[in-house]
Amino acid sequence: MEKQLLKKNLTLIKNGKIVGVIDFMTNQQDVGSHQGPPRHGIIYDEEPVYDIYKENLMRFTTADRLKILFTMTPTRGISWVWTEIFKKGFR
C-alpha cells in the first residue's frame, strides 16, 4: 500500500479550537499502525481483523467509556465477531 494512503484523518475545529480528530484506517494496514492515542469511539464499516480489534480495544484503557459500533456486513459468515461479541452479548 502506498505510504500516503496508510493514515488519513479529519481534524474537527470549532471556534479555532480542535474538538476532535477522526482517523480513517483499514484492515490492509498492519496492527502496529493502529497503535496510538486513546480513543473515545470506533466505528467498523467492514469486519475487522481480530488482532486489529484487540489493538483498538487498548486505545480505550484511558478513556472514561467505550463506544464501538459495528455497521458491517458479515461477508465471512460466522466469524470471531459472532462468537466473541454478539453471542456473549446475548447471554
Given this model, what pLDDT does residue 14 score?
A: 95
Confidence of residue 1 (pLDDT cuts 50, 70, 90): very low
- Decide: pTM greater than 0.85: no
Tell me the C-alpha distance between 10 and 14, whole Å: 13
Which H or E run contains 18? strand 17-24
**pLDDT (tens digit per residue) in 24-57:** 888 888 898 888 877 888 999 888 999 999 998 8
Query: Cα 28 to the chain's mean position, in Å?
Result: 13
Start-to-end C-alpha separation, the chain: 41
Is pLDDT at 89 greater than 50 in this prediction?
yes
